[in-house]
A and B are shown apart, each in its own frame.
Chain A
Amino acid sequence: MKRTILLAMCVLVAAGTAFAANPLPAKDQVLNIAQPELSQTWSPFLGGGHVARWQSLWWAAPMYFDKEGKLQPYVLSKAVADSTFKTWTLTIDPKACFSDGSPITAEDVKGSWELCAVPSTKHARVDLFLSGVVGYNEVITGKSKFMSGIVVKDKSTVVVTLSAPDPIFNQKIATAMIPPVKISQARDANGEQKQEWWHPKNKVVVSGPFMPQSMDLDQGIVVFVPNPKFFGPKPKLSKIVVTSVVDPAVATLMLQQGKMDAHTELITPTIIEDLGADFVSGPATAKGQHFWFGVDKAPMDDINVRKALVMAINPADLAKAAFPDGPYQLATQILNKVAGVDPAYENYKYDPEGAKKALAASKYKEAKNLPKIMFVGISTPTHEAAAQYIAEQWRQVLGITAVEMKSAIDTYSGPDQKNIQIWRDDVGTRVPDAVSYLVGSIHSSSGNAKKCLGGWKNAEVDRLLELASTKAVDNPDRIKLAQQAQKIFRDQYLYIPYYYDIMSKWAMPWVMGMEKNDDWQVIEPWNIYITDAKKK
């Protein structure tokens, strides 16, 4: 009898715990999302922007990373490399299908990836995923519409040949940024994207858990409903309404009133006060914000000036200026949240005297000889506070007074646009890999090196990272080489470390299952639901 009572109590406690961890869903399972722009295109091939943040709702990725960072099959059931890591065989899940019930084929995968690379598609990040494929350069420069490195073996098998070994190609394609679409619907006779093929008025078929029911692009209202033919778990939401609410103050009020449940990206100085810390909370992500020096512009072409500018900054005070109420994670090295963060990395030290000496050792000798220093990317009050702290430190320590800061490059007038020396921008990785992180940040081929670092190129850094890229994921040399490259970069004083990002959920507390990946997309949209807490 006692045992029975004990068992019953255990069951009750377990049920109670489960209830507390997973609050009951509300009857009305409609998710209202505020979109901070008037999105005029919902093409799945944008490669970024606010529209892409909701791409996983209606497009199934080739593969995906789950909440624990483990690679999971999705459209592709398998991605297997040969021993050279240059040939990958991708197998499509036989259950994978579009919303009309037709199967996702190898032709769809090949055609979709080629379409991503065609110049007129204007995909912003295709190079991150497919630049290693043989024939990519011909397509990206408009010389061809087809990639010779993607071959359809049969209806459900694609063989991809890479120009160099890439042991993490399967991780790179685990993103909804390059989703397989029904290619006969998306591509025209010229091999380019058909106009508004993704619009429900053109009877688009999709592969994700939801499908668009209506899109009023002029009003800025897009409605999604569950895809009855979805080949994954059944979605819990009955409807998703994405409404364009451009003004952040209005969006905040609508969230407070419960008219909206989530936001694509809301950054205001009083966000925690207005919507609570839970709204912006989230796990750390492999992404860091920094101030980058463009070495092709004076005075950043002089390492002593760079050294002086870095040493004049107290990292702790910088973070305090930007986030007086926290929470923040102070940045040091480039790498974060991936295996390979260097424990022996020597952080930049705050050393005002050293900074003065470095400036005196530069070809400019004194602050009065330096040209005006211009920042760009100072687009939020947080960044403004940080940049103002930096400018004030430079004034106090080095005597630099000519500093200007603006939000975007086009806000500088003509000649100044070409002379901007400092970019506030983020770097990160979409795969949990140190080499990929650094290749996208400091390798000369990266957008960051070309844009923010002013075309900075170091042959040794490039060599080390290229060598590391060829090593298998479980080979310790892969990380060792990456750390060596990061050390060389560190000694060049090319950036002021700022902070590491977190993946904010930007959803009210009653929204569950909104965990996001490094593409800022919901990892498992079928798990989103609204709890009864909304009524309260």
Chain B
Amino acid sequence: MGRYVLNRLLRWIPSVLFILLIVYALVFFGAGDPIKLIFLQAPGDVAYDPVRIEAIREASGLNRPFLVQFSDYVIHILKGDFGNSLVSGRSVNEMIKAAVPVTFSLGLSAIAIIAVIGTILGAIAALNQNRWIDNLIVGFAQFTWGIPVFVAGPLIIVFLVLVLKMDVPFGWGGLFSPKVIVPLIVMGLNPMAIIIRQARAGVLEVLSEDYIRTARSKGLPTKTLVFRHILRPVLTPVVSQTGLLVIGALNNSILIEKVFGLPGLGRLTENAITRSDYPIILAIVLIFSFVVMTSNLLVDISYPLLDPRAASKKKGED
């Protein structure tokens, strides 16, 4: 297992470098440099003076060849320095340090809630197959699956404020602040549908297994049957979805943090992309890549722990 993890970790290095190169090239050759954007995006009487812009680019080191800038950037990253924002001059390390806890605590909480509630609801639906409760849960899952986050977020706010006359849930007061409840709901609605459907399908599959029939015929109480024999194998497909949930949570954070005024990586990303501020974009891409790769690795490691058959299969292959 240790060797397997080490191999996976070593494979990250070229992957990360490749991702960085691609993203660097995209922002470098694609959207244009941020200095030009300062002048091009500014309205009205801002003088678009190519000579001056070139002087600013030179002062910012942006007139150097692509590979020189990229290698310089990589060297700085190896030293743990993400550089400074090209627009504001702030240290990217500081900005990331402040934003990471917000996004991660919110994302992990959302994933935990989604996984637990989604699995329970999926199991309840399966155990009551074709009854009203099953229809209700599946209907709810279908409904939430059809509403993207960028629609759900503003709609929920409008409903809370205009219908329920509540205050706008805005800003960050820590993970245990009531302000976080609504963003967590919005973050969880759509992906929870996947977990519900996955868990329901998994439980239905397990219910038709011979060993469940045997256990039932032996008179095992339903509670023990569900928690000991049904839920455990169901967890494997649910956990495999968690990797996708992490990616979804990161994507959704961009919109949710913007709408609810949360000072996390998502809002920082949106801000940096609109300004082509690529030291920030690259740092966030690097963090997102790291998170996605780590979550995939954790999912892989967790398979044998959740399902002994996977471990023995792996041993047999080895």
Residues of A in contact with B (beta carbons under 8 Å apart): 37-38, 40-41, 47-49, 118-120, 122, 124-125, 127-128, 140-142, 193, 195-196, 217-220, 243-247, 249-250, 253-254, 256-257, 259, 287, 408-410, 414, 417, 425-430, 440, 445-448, 450-451
Contact = CB atoms under 8 A, between A and B. Distances in A.
B104 interface: no
A250 B157 contact: yes
Contacts of B29: 414
Pick the 10 closest A-B CB pairs, nearest first.
Answer: A40-B88, A41-B88, A218-B98, A447-B47, A451-B48, A119-B55, A120-B59, A119-B59, A119-B56, A426-B44
Nearest to A193: B89
Contacts of A447: 39, 44-49
A38 B98 contact: no
B70 to A, nearest CB: 19
| Most interface-central of A122, A243, A426 (chain B CB within 10 A) | A122
A247 B58 CA distance: 35
Interface stretch (B163-171, B211-219, B221-229, B238-246): B163-171
Contacts of A259: 167-168, 170
Contact of B45 (A140, A246, A249, A430): A430
A122 B35 contact: yes
A257 B98 CA distance: 30
Contacts of B310: none
Given A246-B258, A257-B167, A125 B45 contact: yes
6 contacts: A118-B59, A218-B95, A219-B172, A220-B261, A417-B32, A450-B50
A247 B259 contact: yes
Interface string B234-270: 0000000000000000000000001111010001101
Contacts, number: 146
Given A41-B90, A127-B49, A451-B48, A253 B161 contact: yes
Contacts of A429: 45
A41 B89 contact: yes
A440 B45 contact: yes
Contacts of A427: 44-45
Contacts of A125: 45-47
Interface in B59-75: 59-60
A246 B261 contact: yes
Nearest to B154: A249
Nearest to A246: B258
A249 B263 CA distance: 18
A254 B158 CA distance: 11
Contact of A38 (B35, B52, B59, B268): B268
A119 B58 contact: yes
Contacts of A253: 157-158, 161-162, 168
Contacts of B261: 220, 243-246, 250
A247 B155 CA distance: 13
B119 interface: no
B14 interface: no
Given A38-B271, A450-B49, A410 B276 contact: yes
A366 B271 CA distance: 44
B41 interface: yes
A40 B59 contact: no
B71 to A, nearest CB: 23
Contacts of B39: 124, 447, 451
Interface in B1-41: 29-32, 35, 37-41
B173 to A, nearest CB: 10
Nearest to B37: A410
A37 B49 CA distance: 26
Nearest to A407: B41
| Most interface-central of A250, A253, A446 (chain B CB within 10 A) | A250
Given A37-B271, A125-B46, 11 more contacts: A48-B46, A119-B59, A196-B89, A244-B261, A245-B170, A253-B162, A287-B44, A409-B41, A425-B43, A427-B45, A448-B44
Contacts of A118: 59
A425 B44 contact: yes
Contacts of A257: 161, 167-168
A246 B257 CA distance: 10
A141 B54 CA distance: 8
B51 interface: yes
B175 to A, nearest CB: 15
A40 B95 contact: yes
A193 B60 CA distance: 13
A41 B87 CA distance: 8
A43 to B, nearest CB: 8
Contacts of B40: 408-410, 451
Nearest to B264: A218
B112 interface: no
Interface string B263-293: 1000110110000100000000000000000
